[in-house]
Amino acid sequence: MNEETLLRELNEIERALSGILVGGQSNSLNSGGGSRSVTMPDYAALVKRKKEILYELSCIQGSTAQNIAPGW
């Protein structure tokens, strides 16, 4: 993926995470004798993907070398 695509996905993930924090992960609506349940994306999966995107962006932008420690 290129940087622009990753930044777009990161923005969408951050909006989804914000929505979960504000509104919870699931809602049930009961009206007129019927019910409807809506479940939002899994918070933990979104956080994991966000970390992956941030890592990919750091690789593209050339900033991962600062994070690598000597292995001895």
Q: What is the pLDDT along the chain (72 residues), one digit of tens a residue?
A: 799 999 999 999 999 888 888 876 666 677 777 777 766 568 889 999 999 999 999 999 887 555 555 554
CATH number of 3-62: 3.30.1580
Q: What is the pLDDT of residue 41?
A: 67
Q: What is the pLDDT of residue 58?
A: 92
The pTM for the full model equals 0.63
User: Which residues 6+ apart lie within 8 Å of 61 measured at CB?
Assistant: 3
The Cα–Cα gap between 63 and 55 comes to 9
Give the rounded distance of the alpha carbon of 22 from its chain centre. 15
9 residue type, one letter: E
Q: What is the pLDDT of residue 13?
A: 93
For the chain, the structural domain boundaries read: 3-62
**pLDDT for 45-59, tens place per residue?**
999 999 999 999 999
